[in-house]
Amino acid sequence: MAEITAGLVKDLRDRTGAGFSDCKKALVEVDGDMEAAIDWLRKKGLSAAAKKSGRVAAEGLVGIASAPGKAAMVEVNAETDFVARNEAFQDFVQQVAGIALAVGQDIEAIKAAAYPGTGRNVGEELTHLISTIGENMNIRRAAVLSVGQGTVASYMHQALKPGLGKIGVLVALEGASELAALETLGRQIGMHVAAASPEALDIDAVDPAALERERTVLSDQARASGKPEAIIAKMVDGRIRKYYEEVVLLEQVWVHDGESRVKEVVKKAGGTLTGFARFKLGDGIEKVAGDFAAEVAAAAAG
């Protein structure tokens, strides 16, 4: 039986981040074999993560990483806002954003990528973080935008620190204008997108199914007026134009002056808006009130 020294336990802790007692138990289980102990802890981490995987994770952080002509944005969820202030979690989100910048926005490709300085991939590091912090976590989505000439500007609303916050926006601006001017405009558009929450870049990009639903509702409303079909058609067309002004970025009223259209502002600046992405933390996730608190209380009682 190998001697399990305090130094050996410390080395295992440094390599895995696991707790002292878990590290000691792992070394005992595998007779002091360091690599086998690491595997033992990983397996335990997978077990712990599986127990937490059913819990709702709607908090966390949005992270952004940028490079010349390119930027990436990710959303990583956790169960509580408290975890968003954990430095280990913040570092993980920043690293994942940087990895997305390198490998693209496919989540499985991100998870399979090597995580710096650990010997693990991103998916394994996520499992390790779940085990260490004790909350369910999830890399929910990612977006990567790039331009040939111009800039991909970014804006972070409610930022905890540079590149980390609650609402993130990327804006792809093509153009030969001075780069600093394009970046300033891109940040202004990012602020607009954060506030106005557009659903599509231009009219052609509007979801056909959503447009058809809107047209059906507007038609039924117009017919209730009892007017002739020819008048109803004109009423619906007018309301559809209003609908575009609400959901299409280029058709929206510029929030910075309340008068211009976004497309007019971009054209005046000599640029072309080719894409955008907006991530609002937890958007679309159904939160269960008291979910995590009740579980903690139950654990304490038991």
Domain boundaries, given as residue ranges, for the chain: 6-52, 59-183+275-282, 203-267
CATH class for the domain made up of 6-52: mainly alpha
pLDDT, tens only, 115-158: 999 999 999 999 888 888 888 888 999 999 999 999 999 999 98
Query: Which pLDDT score, from 0 to 100, does residue 302 have?
Result: 43
Domain range 59-183+275-282, its CATH number among 2.40.37.10, 3.40.50.261, 3.40.30.10, 3.30.479.20: 3.30.479.20
Query: Which pLDDT score, from 0 to 100, does residue 33 have?
Result: 87
pLDDT over threshold 70, residue 39:
yes
Q: Are 135 and 83 within 8 A, CB to CB? A: yes
Q: Which fold has domain 203-267?
A: GTP Cyclohydrolase I; Chain A, domain 1 (1.10.286)
Query: Which pLDDT score, from 0 to 100, does residue 50 have?
Result: 42
Q: What mean pLDDT value characterizes the chain?
A: 85
Q: Do domains 59-183+275-282 and 203-267 have the same CATH topology?
A: no
| Alpha-carbon span 164 to 206, nearest angstrom | 29
